[in-house]
Structure 1
């Protein structure tokens, strides 16, 4: 065997490409090891339970053969130790850390008690079935949380940032992307940011956010969202939100928050669990003393019945009656574009007697258009249109955008410079152009500013437009009205059907809007709401919600704007449209990701189904406990049978809750 050949300088010093490849391979190997370890640890509790079952079977076989005695007991002890490891650890940690008794302690005591009087086999069966049931509970909880894990995995970690100077794209972490940056999204890639398309045409699969399987066409100025999947086209997107503020990241945060919170029913169950366990232990003590002392039962039989009582009176099924159902309902809602911030909101949703809607962007599309305009002869029309366009260009309000778009088309003049501008919430805006003071807003704004004069023949024009459900915005300069614009926002296509279904379900529907009475009445009639409240400023919306709560009890509020946030917070349940403002989304308790009103019906159905299933679970689990306790007192329930009845009922209520994973 010859000596190895000396390596060249190139071989001794690998290139940067080789180093990168080595690092990639190393990273891939570590990642694979991590995945394998995670998969093993995820099922470790189940493996321990099955291994405990194997030692139980071996102990039973040894007991039936010549190996009976110490060998069988040793195998049973292994079954106790391995099979009961996780549940014993859980019970002891709760006892030490929280100083609270739990169902695990009852099971441990029952198994030890069975071994004490020589019933090793029954005690091992108890441990095996209890640990297997616990492993199945863990598995079902992991299954119900699968949607959240899938969401987190779908969040892109990198983006192709376009360099402003060179125009080339380079890969950077999404957390470093700033608002205003431009990102290249190639075919088949996940969209890494929230933004608007500035170049390219493609289709995007938004099922991760909305539950809608049909891809959506994206062209210039279309909105795209983080976490969705680009189709066959390429597009350049201008970033409108940082990664932490994106709709997808908020969706993940909301689902995490919802899964960590407990509804009132679950909190009540957890509150009484400790006192209930103490009560069971007292009953067991009495069960040992009374039959042995006063009913002439043998000590072994009395002690055995006390251990059975420990098992059958345990509230495992009661404790598992709520959370699997809740997590399943939240997961189903998330898959279908409904985010819930907590279990208590989902539980309370179906108890609402009335639902109040904001108009613009909620019942209507929120994309109004100017249909008519009227001007005085005080100033040239070109001058009026140019000035109004310049003022409204400063605002992001839907009405302002509609007026700007209309006026820009009607004038050829260059837009003048707006020196100052002030937003008067709920009324309109006032601005200064050259030496003129301009006001744009509602008739209430004009009256508030002591501007009352406009041609008398406008009355008929105004009345006719209001009867058609159009909003009128007035323009005034230096305390004189010089123009008015009639604006119409179309009803959402799903609004009428949603309102009808809510009314069939016995829920009163009310529209709250800042529009003039005639406009509000027209929109309300077209949409089909039961009642409407017009000319409401943001603070008045809160007062109206309070009034509705006094009248109807529990009230839901649906809105999308900054001015809706106080009312959303005041209502029993606040629902925000996904296309709404960040303030509304942050304030609301539920978010409709695709801004589809019919998802309210889905949410109400989920709430009703969940509450019904929880009631079924509670009645069933408590009935089983009562029947097993009575059967045990009449000596008709053995320890293995008690374990099967007890753990079987627990598994059944969990499976019943998991039915909510189906829409």
Structure 2
């Protein structure tokens, strides 16, 4: 039977690194499969038993200049999402403390010193630039020789070594030092971008609590969330995150599932209803029976979907690496012929033709490309930063220029990500201001998002005094005002209490058909209907208009309910798909990508698989994610407007079959 081993690889910051490691390890005897992920830094090797000892794999990876450590050997701890053992690594260190950061700082310092000496002491010649070049080139050359020993002679490091060495031989030390410095900067920027992406994945750990309150033998005990097994019963207190996928045994209350499903409003869950790991219990204590182990909970499945999406799309190596596979050997051979043939067959001077051969080598080897890759990436990153964008490498720029379809998440992307009061329908002699202040007074002690929206609406208004405020589990809140019990609840519960007439119920239904959540303020009879909705951002319509003007077809993909999704889609005049789980979003993106390049724009953890599956994924900094702060949208439009003109590619919109509206003229 084959053996499978896993390692953590450090110093790997790009698909080119991963491809280099995978190719080198695959050449070892007995290797059946090699899987490697840049984002998780995991290397998984399946080999014939005893054919290749794990130590051989480790030595091969170390010879390429990367760090490697077996999961079973180093301070491993159960991962809170997956239940698997993973090394307890700290967050990535700042760029200036990394090896690549040290190299950039060193070469930059030496270049500044060299230029200073050239100005102050012209007699010093090229020696300062030679020192600057060699200081940056030696680490690159060592990696090139390691790749050659591992059977990969034509790598970007080998290209850099030959080009810079040739430049030194023909006296272009200043140019050689600058090329080496720019190459080091490009490597560093790539590492920084990957580090930011890893921070986002690392933040997933905050979605699932590390501990849970387990009920056992009529006692409560704090246990690690990873110890929970199907059948365990846990208590989830108000404000806590649910530690595992499960089913409610007792208790009824609102559960905020937006981090997992994208549902914009808290959903009332009661006995028998399923709940997801990472969702937030907003109201009363819930007794939940665990139905899935930690390794198979919702967050763990989302992570696996991301990894599967990464594997399903082969890593795109940088253009230079692919180009140099055939071009670089040809140029090296041609340069050798230029050096040898004239002196050997025509009696020409060796000094002249060695110089010309090196000139051909320096010009022929794509040094301009070596410089252009990091320079173009740096330029694009700066342009993106001015628009509030962080881009992962240069490949995304070219891919963006060919986008045909943009799929947009709804909650927190096209909408504000929190409910707002949209309608107040008074049903008796009370004024709108009186109804609003009374409702806010009743709701002010509640932390429910709907309650907070009502309180925000009444900001700056004097609230009447109320007493005995309390939550009604799974229904709403109540308080005593002027000797009467005032209740705020959903229309269903108001109807059960006999406070809703058939006419008022029809009015509530009409408001709900517009995608609004309706609450009723009532005593014995209804006093008012209050409508709330997660409203579109002010620039959402302009975003859709600009996308269409660019020849790109927008579509909304959301986990929210059909009614709300239809209402928002009607306002924005675009197509939509609703009630999509993370894996369904990923499948929809896969289907769209089969018709043409697709961009996914999202902000929630539930969007992660779809973002990874898309040709270009845009994670915006707001909404239901785990650590971002709002910035000014629309990001996807900014990306397309910035980079489509660079490549001058035709905009050919792809017609998407789906729900269309009469007002949609596209």
Q: With CA pairs under 8 Å and 6+ residues apart, which has the higher RCO, 1 or 2?
A: 1
Please classify the TM superposition score into its range, dividing by the shorter chain length. 0.3 to 0.5
TM-score of the aligned structures, taking structure 2 as reference length? 0.46
Bigger Rg, structure 1 or 2: 1
Structure (1/2) with the larger helix percentage = 1
TM-score of the aligned structures, taking structure 1 as reference length? 0.46
